[in-house]
Amino acid sequence: MITIQNYINGQFLDSGSKKTLENINPSQGKVFSTIPDSDSTDVEQAIHAANNAFLDWSLLSFEKRFDYLLAIAHMIEARMDNFVQAESMDNGKPTWLAKQADIPRAISNLKFFAAAQMNFPSESHHTPGQGLNYTLRKPLGVVGCISPWNLPLYLFTWKIAPALAAGNTVVAKPSEVTPYTAYLLTKVCAEIGLPAGVLNVVHGLGSTVGASIVASPKVKAIAFTGGTSTGRYINGECAKTFKKVSLELGGKNPNIIFNDCNFDEMLATTIRSSFTNQGQICLCGSRIFVQKGIYEQFKNAFVSKVRELKVGDPRTEVNLGSIVSEVHMEKILNYIDLAKKEGGSILIGGNRLSIEGECKDGFFIQPTVIEGLSHLCQVNQEEIFGPVVTLIPFDTEEDAIEMANSTPYGLACTIWTDTIQRAHRVAEKIDSGIVWVNSWMVRDLRTPFGGMKESGVGREGGFEAMRFFTETKNVFIKY
Ligand code: NDP
Protein backbone atom coordinates (compact mmCIF):
# COMPACT_ATOMS: atom_id res chain seq x y z
CA MET A 1 0.00 0.00 0.00
CA ILE A 2 1.44 3.38 -1.02
CA THR A 3 1.12 6.29 1.43
CA ILE A 4 0.71 9.66 -0.25
CA GLN A 5 1.50 12.70 1.89
CA ASN A 6 1.03 16.43 1.74
CA TYR A 7 4.02 18.58 0.81
CA ILE A 8 3.99 21.71 2.95
CA ASN A 9 6.93 24.03 3.59
CA GLY A 10 9.27 21.47 2.03
CA GLN A 11 8.12 18.68 4.37
CA PHE A 12 6.09 15.54 3.78
CA LEU A 13 3.22 15.49 6.25
CA ASP A 14 0.06 13.58 7.04
CA SER A 15 -3.08 15.62 7.51
CA GLY A 16 -3.20 17.28 10.93
CA SER A 17 -6.23 15.14 11.81
CA LYS A 18 -4.39 11.97 10.64
CA LYS A 19 -7.49 11.08 8.63
CA THR A 20 -6.94 9.43 5.26
CA LEU A 21 -8.88 8.62 2.11
CA GLU A 22 -8.54 5.50 -0.03
CA ASN A 23 -7.24 5.81 -3.55
CA ILE A 24 -8.40 3.22 -6.07
CA ASN A 25 -6.77 1.70 -9.14
CA PRO A 26 -9.84 1.88 -11.41
CA SER A 27 -8.71 -0.81 -13.83
CA GLN A 28 -8.69 -3.34 -10.96
CA GLY A 29 -11.26 -1.76 -8.66
CA LYS A 30 -8.74 -2.08 -5.81
CA VAL A 31 -7.37 0.35 -3.25
CA PHE A 32 -3.64 0.88 -3.85
CA SER A 33 -2.84 3.95 -1.78
CA THR A 34 -4.05 6.24 0.94
CA ILE A 35 -3.99 10.02 0.75
CA PRO A 36 -4.34 12.61 3.51
CA ASP A 37 -7.93 13.68 4.10
CA SER A 38 -6.76 17.23 4.73
CA ASP A 39 -8.87 20.08 6.04
CA SER A 40 -8.76 23.86 6.38
CA THR A 41 -6.02 23.70 9.06
CA ASP A 42 -3.67 21.93 6.63
CA VAL A 43 -4.55 24.45 3.94
CA GLU A 44 -3.84 27.36 6.33
CA GLN A 45 -0.45 25.85 7.11
CA ALA A 46 0.32 25.60 3.38
CA ILE A 47 -0.81 29.18 2.73
CA HIS A 48 1.34 30.40 5.62
CA ALA A 49 4.38 28.59 4.19
CA ALA A 50 3.71 29.97 0.70
CA ASN A 51 3.36 33.49 2.11
CA ASN A 52 6.71 33.23 3.90
CA ALA A 53 8.42 31.93 0.77
CA PHE A 54 6.97 34.55 -1.57
CA LEU A 55 9.36 37.48 -1.20
CA ASP A 56 12.54 35.49 -1.85
CA TRP A 57 11.02 33.52 -4.72
CA SER A 58 9.58 36.62 -6.37
CA LEU A 59 12.97 38.39 -6.20
CA LEU A 60 14.93 35.44 -7.57
CA SER A 61 16.67 36.05 -10.90
CA PHE A 62 15.05 34.70 -14.08
CA GLU A 63 18.02 32.41 -14.55
CA LYS A 64 17.60 30.82 -11.11
CA ARG A 65 13.88 30.25 -11.59
CA PHE A 66 14.62 28.79 -15.02
CA ASP A 67 17.16 26.42 -13.44
CA TYR A 68 14.70 25.18 -10.81
CA LEU A 69 11.87 24.52 -13.27
CA LEU A 70 14.21 22.85 -15.71
CA ALA A 71 15.68 20.66 -12.96
CA ILE A 72 12.17 19.44 -12.08
CA ALA A 73 11.45 18.72 -15.77
CA HIS A 74 14.71 16.82 -16.21
CA MET A 75 14.16 14.67 -13.15
CA ILE A 76 10.65 13.72 -14.31
CA GLU A 77 12.19 12.84 -17.68
CA ALA A 78 14.77 10.64 -15.95
CA ARG A 79 11.94 8.86 -14.08
CA MET A 80 9.63 8.57 -17.08
CA ASP A 81 8.67 4.94 -16.49
CA ASN A 82 7.88 5.51 -12.83
CA PHE A 83 5.58 8.45 -13.69
CA VAL A 84 3.97 6.57 -16.59
CA GLN A 85 3.11 3.54 -14.46
CA ALA A 86 1.80 5.77 -11.67
CA GLU A 87 -0.45 7.79 -13.99
CA SER A 88 -1.87 4.69 -15.60
CA MET A 89 -2.50 2.92 -12.29
CA ASP A 90 -4.18 5.98 -10.77
CA ASN A 91 -6.33 6.96 -13.74
CA GLY A 92 -6.90 3.73 -15.69
CA LYS A 93 -5.46 5.13 -18.93
CA PRO A 94 -3.29 2.91 -21.15
CA THR A 95 0.41 3.16 -20.27
CA TRP A 96 1.27 3.94 -23.93
CA LEU A 97 -0.93 7.03 -23.69
CA ALA A 98 0.67 8.23 -20.45
CA LYS A 99 4.06 7.67 -22.10
CA GLN A 100 3.13 9.34 -25.37
CA ALA A 101 1.04 12.23 -24.05
CA ASP A 102 0.59 12.86 -20.33
CA ILE A 103 4.11 12.74 -18.93
CA PRO A 104 5.94 14.26 -21.94
CA ARG A 105 3.43 17.11 -21.92
CA ALA A 106 3.95 17.70 -18.18
CA ILE A 107 7.68 17.97 -18.90
CA SER A 108 6.99 20.37 -21.80
CA ASN A 109 4.80 22.55 -19.58
CA LEU A 110 7.66 23.01 -17.12
CA LYS A 111 10.25 23.65 -19.84
CA PHE A 112 7.96 25.98 -21.77
CA PHE A 113 7.14 28.27 -18.84
CA ALA A 114 10.75 28.19 -17.58
CA ALA A 115 11.65 29.76 -20.92
CA ALA A 116 8.52 31.94 -21.21
CA GLN A 117 9.34 33.92 -18.05
CA MET A 118 12.74 34.79 -19.56
CA ASN A 119 11.03 36.18 -22.67
CA PHE A 120 7.95 37.79 -21.14
CA PRO A 121 8.06 41.38 -22.37
CA SER A 122 6.78 44.56 -20.74
CA GLU A 123 5.42 47.41 -22.84
CA SER A 124 6.07 51.11 -23.03
CA HIS A 125 3.83 53.75 -24.59
CA HIS A 126 5.04 57.18 -25.55
CA THR A 127 2.35 59.86 -25.02
CA PRO A 128 3.35 62.64 -27.49
CA GLY A 129 4.49 65.86 -25.80
CA GLN A 130 3.73 64.58 -22.31
CA GLY A 131 5.73 61.61 -21.23
CA LEU A 132 6.32 57.91 -21.25
CA ASN A 133 4.32 55.03 -19.81
CA TYR A 134 5.84 51.73 -18.95
CA THR A 135 4.08 48.63 -17.73
CA LEU A 136 5.26 46.50 -14.87
CA ARG A 137 4.01 42.95 -14.42
CA LYS A 138 4.58 41.73 -10.90
CA PRO A 139 3.80 38.36 -9.33
CA LEU A 140 0.55 38.23 -7.37
CA GLY A 141 1.68 36.46 -4.19
CA VAL A 142 0.20 33.13 -3.09
CA VAL A 143 -1.95 31.54 -5.80
CA GLY A 144 -4.19 28.45 -5.74
CA CYS A 145 -4.09 25.81 -8.49
CA ILE A 146 -6.86 23.19 -8.59
CA SER A 147 -6.80 20.45 -11.21
CA PRO A 148 -8.97 17.48 -12.34
CA TRP A 149 -8.43 13.74 -12.79
CA ASN A 150 -8.53 13.21 -16.55
CA LEU A 151 -4.99 14.36 -17.42
CA PRO A 152 -3.61 14.51 -13.90
CA LEU A 153 0.04 15.61 -14.16
CA TYR A 154 -0.47 17.26 -17.55
CA LEU A 155 -3.07 19.69 -16.14
CA PHE A 156 -1.43 20.01 -12.71
CA THR A 157 1.77 21.30 -14.35
CA TRP A 158 -0.24 23.41 -16.82
CA LYS A 159 -1.25 25.47 -13.75
CA ILE A 160 1.75 25.35 -11.42
CA ALA A 161 4.45 25.91 -14.07
CA PRO A 162 3.30 29.39 -15.19
CA ALA A 163 2.34 30.33 -11.62
CA LEU A 164 5.84 29.55 -10.32
CA ALA A 165 7.56 30.92 -13.42
CA ALA A 166 5.83 34.27 -12.94
CA GLY A 167 7.27 34.48 -9.40
CA ASN A 168 4.28 33.38 -7.34
CA THR A 169 4.25 30.76 -4.63
CA VAL A 170 1.61 28.06 -4.93
CA VAL A 171 -0.85 26.04 -2.89
CA ALA A 172 -2.10 23.29 -5.18
CA LYS A 173 -4.73 20.59 -4.93
CA PRO A 174 -4.76 17.75 -7.43
CA SER A 175 -7.93 15.73 -7.85
CA GLU A 176 -8.51 13.42 -4.91
CA VAL A 177 -9.22 10.69 -7.50
CA THR A 178 -5.74 10.90 -9.10
CA PRO A 179 -3.21 12.36 -6.64
CA TYR A 180 -0.28 10.02 -7.29
CA THR A 181 1.83 11.79 -9.93
CA ALA A 182 1.47 15.17 -8.16
CA TYR A 183 2.90 13.43 -5.09
CA LEU A 184 5.80 12.04 -7.15
CA LEU A 185 6.40 15.55 -8.44
CA THR A 186 6.69 16.88 -4.88
CA LYS A 187 9.32 14.18 -4.23
CA VAL A 188 11.23 15.57 -7.20
CA CYS A 189 10.89 19.15 -5.87
CA ALA A 190 12.36 18.06 -2.54
CA GLU A 191 15.24 16.27 -4.25
CA ILE A 192 16.23 19.13 -6.53
CA GLY A 193 16.11 21.49 -3.55
CA LEU A 194 13.24 23.77 -4.51
CA PRO A 195 13.10 26.30 -1.65
CA ALA A 196 10.64 25.33 1.09
CA GLY A 197 7.16 26.82 0.76
CA VAL A 198 7.44 27.73 -2.95
CA LEU A 199 5.20 24.83 -3.99
CA ASN A 200 2.82 23.29 -1.45
CA VAL A 201 0.51 20.42 -2.34
CA VAL A 202 -2.44 19.62 -0.09
CA HIS A 203 -4.34 16.41 -0.83
CA GLY A 204 -7.99 15.79 0.03
CA LEU A 205 -11.51 16.53 -1.06
CA GLY A 206 -12.56 19.43 -3.23
CA SER A 207 -15.30 20.36 -0.81
CA THR A 208 -12.80 20.84 2.05
CA VAL A 209 -9.27 21.43 0.70
CA GLY A 210 -10.35 23.04 -2.58
CA ALA A 211 -13.00 25.18 -0.92
CA SER A 212 -10.53 26.36 1.79
CA ILE A 213 -7.98 27.46 -0.81
CA VAL A 214 -10.68 29.31 -2.73
CA ALA A 215 -12.08 31.01 0.40
CA SER A 216 -8.78 32.28 1.81
CA PRO A 217 -8.30 36.06 1.51
CA LYS A 218 -4.52 35.43 1.48
CA VAL A 219 -4.76 33.59 -1.86
CA LYS A 220 -4.66 36.16 -4.66
CA ALA A 221 -5.77 34.07 -7.63
CA ILE A 222 -7.33 30.72 -8.48
CA ALA A 223 -6.47 28.80 -11.63
CA PHE A 224 -9.01 26.00 -11.92
CA THR A 225 -9.62 23.23 -14.43
CA GLY A 226 -12.64 21.00 -13.86
CA GLY A 227 -16.37 20.71 -14.26
CA THR A 228 -18.67 23.63 -15.05
CA SER A 229 -20.73 23.35 -11.87
CA THR A 230 -17.59 23.44 -9.67
CA GLY A 231 -16.34 26.36 -11.75
CA ARG A 232 -19.58 28.24 -11.19
CA TYR A 233 -19.24 27.77 -7.41
CA ILE A 234 -15.57 28.82 -7.44
CA ASN A 235 -16.33 31.91 -9.50
CA GLY A 236 -18.92 33.00 -6.93
CA GLU A 237 -16.56 32.40 -4.00
CA CYS A 238 -13.66 34.23 -5.67
CA ALA A 239 -15.86 37.30 -6.12
CA LYS A 240 -16.18 37.59 -2.32
CA THR A 241 -12.45 38.22 -1.91
CA PHE A 242 -11.90 39.86 -5.34
CA LYS A 243 -9.53 37.15 -6.52
CA LYS A 244 -8.38 36.85 -10.08
CA VAL A 245 -9.88 33.67 -11.50
CA SER A 246 -9.17 31.53 -14.53
CA LEU A 247 -11.63 28.74 -15.27
CA GLU A 248 -11.12 25.94 -17.79
CA LEU A 249 -14.38 23.99 -17.70
CA GLY A 250 -16.45 21.37 -19.47
CA GLY A 251 -17.27 20.97 -23.13
CA LYS A 252 -19.69 19.34 -25.57
CA ASN A 253 -17.52 19.71 -28.60
CA PRO A 254 -18.86 19.49 -32.16
CA ASN A 255 -16.96 17.62 -34.85
CA ILE A 256 -18.32 18.90 -38.20
CA ILE A 257 -17.64 16.69 -41.20
CA PHE A 258 -18.41 17.98 -44.70
CA ASN A 259 -18.93 15.87 -47.86
CA ASP A 260 -15.71 17.19 -49.39
CA CYS A 261 -13.30 16.18 -46.63
CA ASN A 262 -10.35 13.82 -46.95
CA PHE A 263 -12.37 10.80 -45.79
CA ASP A 264 -9.61 8.47 -44.65
CA GLU A 265 -7.71 11.09 -42.69
CA MET A 266 -10.94 12.35 -41.12
CA LEU A 267 -11.99 8.81 -40.15
CA ALA A 268 -8.70 7.96 -38.42
CA THR A 269 -8.62 11.26 -36.53
CA THR A 270 -12.30 11.07 -35.58
CA ILE A 271 -11.67 7.72 -33.90
CA ARG A 272 -8.97 9.42 -31.84
CA SER A 273 -10.97 12.57 -31.09
CA SER A 274 -13.89 10.42 -29.91
CA PHE A 275 -12.18 7.80 -27.76
CA THR A 276 -8.69 8.86 -26.67
CA ASN A 277 -8.35 8.56 -22.89
CA GLN A 278 -11.74 6.76 -22.87
CA GLY A 279 -13.33 9.99 -24.15
CA GLN A 280 -12.29 11.73 -20.94
CA ILE A 281 -10.58 14.72 -22.50
CA CYS A 282 -12.31 18.08 -22.35
CA LEU A 283 -11.38 18.50 -26.05
CA CYS A 284 -12.88 15.22 -27.31
CA GLY A 285 -15.51 15.68 -30.02
CA SER A 286 -18.66 14.12 -28.58
CA ARG A 287 -21.23 15.34 -31.14
CA ILE A 288 -20.33 14.23 -34.67
CA PHE A 289 -22.22 16.21 -37.33
CA VAL A 290 -21.94 14.56 -40.76
CA GLN A 291 -23.16 16.06 -44.05
CA LYS A 292 -25.85 13.90 -45.61
CA GLY A 293 -23.87 13.05 -48.79
CA ILE A 294 -21.44 10.90 -46.79
CA TYR A 295 -23.52 10.11 -43.69
CA GLU A 296 -24.17 6.41 -44.47
CA GLN A 297 -20.61 5.84 -45.69
CA PHE A 298 -19.25 7.50 -42.54
CA LYS A 299 -21.58 5.61 -40.21
CA ASN A 300 -20.61 2.20 -41.61
CA ALA A 301 -16.89 2.93 -41.71
CA PHE A 302 -16.86 4.51 -38.25
CA VAL A 303 -18.78 1.68 -36.60
CA SER A 304 -16.52 -0.93 -38.17
CA LYS A 305 -13.42 0.92 -36.93
CA VAL A 306 -14.94 1.16 -33.43
CA ARG A 307 -15.53 -2.61 -33.53
CA GLU A 308 -11.75 -3.07 -33.89
CA LEU A 309 -10.92 -1.03 -30.76
CA LYS A 310 -9.53 -3.08 -27.91
CA VAL A 311 -10.58 -2.26 -24.36
CA GLY A 312 -8.82 -3.81 -21.39
CA ASP A 313 -5.88 -3.94 -18.97
CA PRO A 314 -4.16 -0.56 -19.42
CA ARG A 315 -0.73 -2.18 -19.04
CA THR A 316 -1.26 -4.05 -22.32
CA GLU A 317 -1.60 -2.97 -25.96
CA VAL A 318 -5.20 -1.76 -25.73
CA ASN A 319 -6.83 1.28 -27.31
CA LEU A 320 -8.94 2.11 -24.27
CA GLY A 321 -8.29 1.47 -20.58
CA SER A 322 -10.76 1.85 -17.75
CA ILE A 323 -13.00 4.72 -16.74
CA VAL A 324 -11.51 6.74 -13.88
CA SER A 325 -13.91 5.65 -11.11
CA GLU A 326 -17.00 3.62 -10.39
CA VAL A 327 -19.05 6.79 -9.80
CA HIS A 328 -18.01 8.19 -13.15
CA MET A 329 -18.69 4.86 -14.91
CA GLU A 330 -22.23 4.85 -13.46
CA LYS A 331 -22.76 8.43 -14.65
CA ILE A 332 -21.76 7.47 -18.21
CA LEU A 333 -23.96 4.34 -18.20
CA ASN A 334 -26.90 6.46 -17.00
CA TYR A 335 -26.42 8.77 -19.97
CA ILE A 336 -26.45 5.74 -22.30
CA ASP A 337 -29.78 4.67 -20.73
CA LEU A 338 -31.08 8.19 -21.11
CA ALA A 339 -30.10 8.15 -24.79
CA LYS A 340 -32.31 5.07 -25.30
CA LYS A 341 -35.22 6.78 -23.51
CA GLU A 342 -34.73 9.86 -25.68
CA GLY A 343 -35.17 7.70 -28.78
CA GLY A 344 -31.54 7.03 -29.72
CA SER A 345 -30.31 3.81 -31.33
CA ILE A 346 -27.10 2.31 -30.04
CA LEU A 347 -25.08 1.42 -33.15
CA ILE A 348 -22.31 -0.25 -31.18
CA GLY A 349 -21.27 -0.59 -27.51
CA GLY A 350 -23.53 0.71 -24.77
CA ASN A 351 -22.51 -1.58 -21.90
CA ARG A 352 -20.10 -2.12 -19.08
CA LEU A 353 -17.41 -4.54 -20.10
CA SER A 354 -15.99 -7.26 -17.94
CA ILE A 355 -12.33 -8.12 -18.41
CA GLU A 356 -10.84 -11.39 -17.27
CA GLY A 357 -7.97 -11.76 -14.82
CA GLU A 358 -6.59 -9.00 -12.60
CA CYS A 359 -8.95 -6.45 -14.14
CA LYS A 360 -12.17 -8.37 -13.44
CA ASP A 361 -13.39 -5.70 -10.99
CA GLY A 362 -12.31 -2.75 -13.15
CA PHE A 363 -14.58 -0.03 -14.49
CA PHE A 364 -14.65 -0.59 -18.26
CA ILE A 365 -17.19 0.66 -20.80
CA GLN A 366 -17.45 -0.31 -24.46
CA PRO A 367 -16.87 2.55 -26.92
CA THR A 368 -20.38 3.60 -27.79
CA VAL A 369 -21.92 5.22 -30.88
CA ILE A 370 -25.50 6.51 -30.86
CA GLU A 371 -27.68 7.92 -33.65
CA GLY A 372 -31.22 9.16 -34.03
CA LEU A 373 -31.20 11.83 -31.32
CA SER A 374 -32.26 15.45 -31.68
CA HIS A 375 -29.39 17.90 -31.27
CA LEU A 376 -31.46 19.53 -28.51
CA CYS A 377 -32.04 16.44 -26.34
CA GLN A 378 -30.36 16.13 -22.95
CA VAL A 379 -27.73 13.65 -24.15
CA ASN A 380 -26.67 16.09 -26.88
CA GLN A 381 -26.71 19.11 -24.57
CA GLU A 382 -24.91 17.84 -21.45
CA GLU A 383 -21.29 16.77 -21.04
CA ILE A 384 -20.96 12.97 -20.65
CA PHE A 385 -17.14 12.84 -20.53
CA GLY A 386 -16.78 9.19 -21.54
CA PRO A 387 -16.40 6.93 -24.60
CA VAL A 388 -19.79 7.92 -26.00
CA VAL A 389 -20.45 9.87 -29.21
CA THR A 390 -23.60 10.73 -31.12
CA LEU A 391 -23.99 10.98 -34.91
CA ILE A 392 -26.17 13.74 -36.32
CA PRO A 393 -26.72 14.24 -40.07
CA PHE A 394 -26.98 17.74 -41.58
CA ASP A 395 -27.84 19.36 -44.93
CA THR A 396 -26.19 22.75 -45.13
CA GLU A 397 -23.30 24.64 -43.58
CA GLU A 398 -25.81 26.92 -41.81
CA ASP A 399 -27.60 23.92 -40.27
CA ALA A 400 -24.32 22.52 -38.96
CA ILE A 401 -23.30 25.84 -37.41
CA GLU A 402 -26.68 26.33 -35.77
CA MET A 403 -26.71 22.84 -34.24
CA ALA A 404 -23.04 23.02 -33.22
CA ASN A 405 -23.66 26.30 -31.37
CA SER A 406 -26.84 25.07 -29.66
CA THR A 407 -25.28 23.96 -26.33
CA PRO A 408 -24.30 26.10 -23.32
CA TYR A 409 -20.67 25.06 -23.92
CA GLY A 410 -18.00 26.54 -26.20
CA LEU A 411 -14.65 24.86 -25.73
CA ALA A 412 -13.39 23.25 -28.95
CA CYS A 413 -14.58 22.38 -32.45
CA THR A 414 -13.19 20.29 -35.30
CA ILE A 415 -14.05 21.04 -38.94
CA TRP A 416 -13.35 18.62 -41.80
CA THR A 417 -13.45 20.11 -45.31
CA ASP A 418 -11.16 20.57 -48.30
CA THR A 419 -12.71 23.95 -49.16
CA ILE A 420 -10.57 26.64 -47.61
CA GLN A 421 -13.26 29.35 -47.78
CA ARG A 422 -15.70 27.09 -45.91
CA ALA A 423 -13.10 26.29 -43.27
CA HIS A 424 -12.60 30.01 -42.59
CA ARG A 425 -16.34 30.79 -42.67
CA VAL A 426 -17.28 28.05 -40.24
CA ALA A 427 -14.29 28.64 -37.94
CA GLU A 428 -15.35 32.27 -37.63
CA LYS A 429 -18.97 31.44 -36.79
CA ILE A 430 -18.50 28.64 -34.27
CA ASP A 431 -18.74 29.70 -30.61
CA SER A 432 -15.65 28.03 -29.22
CA GLY A 433 -12.27 29.04 -27.87
CA ILE A 434 -10.38 26.55 -30.05
CA VAL A 435 -11.06 25.42 -33.64
CA TRP A 436 -9.11 22.69 -35.41
CA VAL A 437 -9.45 22.38 -39.19
CA ASN A 438 -8.66 18.93 -40.62
CA SER A 439 -6.92 17.97 -37.39
CA TRP A 440 -7.48 17.49 -33.68
CA MET A 441 -5.56 18.14 -30.47
CA VAL A 442 -2.54 19.71 -32.14
CA ARG A 443 -1.31 21.94 -29.34
CA ASP A 444 1.27 24.71 -29.54
CA LEU A 445 1.87 25.94 -26.00
CA ARG A 446 2.22 29.55 -27.18
CA THR A 447 -1.41 29.70 -28.31
CA PRO A 448 -4.31 30.98 -26.16
CA PHE A 449 -6.28 28.13 -24.61
CA GLY A 450 -9.74 28.29 -23.03
CA GLY A 451 -13.46 28.23 -23.62
CA MET A 452 -16.42 30.49 -24.35
CA LYS A 453 -19.84 30.44 -22.68
CA GLU A 454 -20.01 27.85 -19.87
CA SER A 455 -16.69 26.31 -20.93
CA GLY A 456 -14.65 28.85 -19.08
CA VAL A 457 -13.49 32.31 -18.19
CA GLY A 458 -10.15 33.67 -19.39
CA ARG A 459 -7.37 32.12 -21.41
CA GLU A 460 -4.21 30.31 -20.42
CA GLY A 461 -1.24 29.21 -22.52
CA GLY A 462 1.80 31.24 -23.60
CA PHE A 463 1.87 34.85 -22.42
CA GLU A 464 -1.87 34.65 -21.60
CA ALA A 465 -0.93 32.49 -18.61
CA MET A 466 1.95 34.79 -17.67
CA ARG A 467 -0.46 37.74 -17.77
CA PHE A 468 -2.98 35.90 -15.62
CA PHE A 469 -0.40 35.12 -12.96
CA THR A 470 0.88 38.71 -12.75
CA GLU A 471 -0.55 42.04 -11.64
CA THR A 472 -0.22 44.83 -14.21
CA LYS A 473 0.88 48.28 -13.17
CA ASN A 474 1.33 51.26 -15.46
CA VAL A 475 3.86 53.95 -14.55
CA PHE A 476 3.78 57.38 -16.25
CA ILE A 477 6.90 59.61 -16.29
CA LYS A 478 6.46 63.26 -17.35
CA TYR A 479 8.95 64.53 -19.90
P1 NDP B 1 -14.46 18.60 -10.76
O2 NDP B 1 -15.00 19.95 -11.03
O3 NDP B 1 -15.28 17.64 -10.01
O4 NDP B 1 -13.08 18.70 -9.95
C5 NDP B 1 -11.97 19.45 -10.40
C6 NDP B 1 -11.11 19.80 -9.20
O7 NDP B 1 -11.85 20.69 -8.35
C8 NDP B 1 -10.75 18.59 -8.34
O9 NDP B 1 -9.45 18.76 -7.81
C10 NDP B 1 -11.81 18.65 -7.26
O11 NDP B 1 -11.43 17.99 -6.09
C12 NDP B 1 -11.89 20.16 -7.04
N13 NDP B 1 -13.13 20.60 -6.39
C14 NDP B 1 -14.31 19.96 -6.31
N15 NDP B 1 -15.20 20.68 -5.59
C16 NDP B 1 -14.55 21.82 -5.21
C17 NDP B 1 -14.92 22.97 -4.45
N18 NDP B 1 -16.13 23.10 -3.92
N19 NDP B 1 -14.01 23.95 -4.28
C20 NDP B 1 -12.78 23.84 -4.81
N21 NDP B 1 -12.35 22.77 -5.53
C22 NDP B 1 -13.23 21.77 -5.73
O23 NDP B 1 -14.01 18.03 -12.17
P24 NDP B 1 -13.48 16.56 -12.49
O25 NDP B 1 -12.28 16.28 -11.62
O26 NDP B 1 -14.65 15.65 -12.46
O27 NDP B 1 -12.93 16.74 -13.97
C28 NDP B 1 -13.70 16.56 -15.10
C29 NDP B 1 -14.16 17.89 -15.64
O30 NDP B 1 -13.04 18.72 -15.96
C31 NDP B 1 -14.95 17.76 -16.91
O32 NDP B 1 -16.09 18.58 -16.85
C33 NDP B 1 -14.00 18.30 -17.97
O34 NDP B 1 -14.63 18.82 -19.10
C35 NDP B 1 -13.26 19.33 -17.21
N36 NDP B 1 -12.00 19.64 -17.88
C37 NDP B 1 -11.83 20.84 -18.52
C38 NDP B 1 -10.67 21.11 -19.20
C39 NDP B 1 -10.46 22.42 -19.89
O40 NDP B 1 -9.31 22.72 -20.19
N41 NDP B 1 -11.47 23.20 -20.17
C42 NDP B 1 -9.59 20.12 -19.28
C43 NDP B 1 -9.87 18.92 -18.56
C44 NDP B 1 -11.03 18.68 -17.89
P45 NDP B 1 -11.90 16.46 -5.84
O46 NDP B 1 -11.40 15.65 -6.96
O47 NDP B 1 -11.27 16.14 -4.58
O48 NDP B 1 -13.42 16.52 -5.77
Summarised one tens digit per residue, pLDDT across range 37-51 is 999 999 999 999 999
Q: Please tell me if the CB atom of residue 234 comes closer than 6 angstroms to any atom of ligand 1.
A: yes
Q: Whose CA is closest to atom 36 on ligand 1?
A: 226
* pLDDT tens by residue, 211-226: 999 999 999 999 999 9
- Asked if 437 and 427 count as a contact pair (C-beta separation under 8 A), the reply is yes
Q: Whose CA is closest to atom 16 on ligand 1?
A: 206
- Asked if 354 and 331 count as a contact pair (C-beta separation under 8 A), the reply is no
pTM of the model: 0.97
* CA of residue 125 to ligand 1 center, whole Å: 40
* CA of residue 149 to ligand 1 center, whole Å: 7
Q: Whose CA is closest to atom 8 on ligand 1?
A: 175
With b meaning 16 or more CB within 10 Å and e meaning fewer, what string describes 234-246? Answer: bbebbeeeebbbb
For residue 448, count other CB atoms closer than 10 A to its CB: 14
* Per-residue pLDDT, 306: 98
pLDDT in tens, the chain (479 residues): 999 999 999 999 999 999 999 999 999 999 999 999 999 999 999 999 999 999 999 999 999 999 999 999 999 999 999 999 999 999 999 999 999 999 999 999 999 999 999 999 999 999 999 999 999 999 999 999 999 999 999 999 999 999 999 999 999 999 999 999 999 999 999 999 999 999 999 999 999 999 999 999 999 999 999 999 999 999 999 999 999 999 999 999 999 999 999 999 999 999 999 999 999 999 999 999 999 999 999 999 999 999 999 999 999 999 999 999 999 999 999 999 999 999 999 999 999 999 999 999 999 999 999 999 999 999 999 999 999 999 999 999 999 999 999 999 999 999 999 999 999 999 999 999 999 999 999 999 999 999 999 999 999 999 999 999 999 999 999 99
Question: What are the catalytic residues?
Answer: 248, 282
* CA of residue 156 to ligand 1 center, whole Å: 11
Q: Which long-range contacts (CB under 8 A, 24 or more apart) does 431-439 make?
A: 431/405, 432/253, 432/254, 433/459, 434/283, 436/412, 438/261, 438/262, 438/265, 438/266, 439/269, 439/414
Q: Please tell me if the CB atom of residue 206 comes closer than 6 angstroms to any atom of ligand 1.
A: yes
* pLDDT tens by residue, 424-454: 999 999 999 999 999 999 999 999 999 999 9
Q: Please tell me if the CB atom of residue 173 comes closer than 6 angstroms to any atom of ligand 1.
A: yes
Q: Whose CA is closest to atom 43 on ligand 1?
A: 282
- For residue 173, the ligand 1 atom closest to its alpha carbon is 9
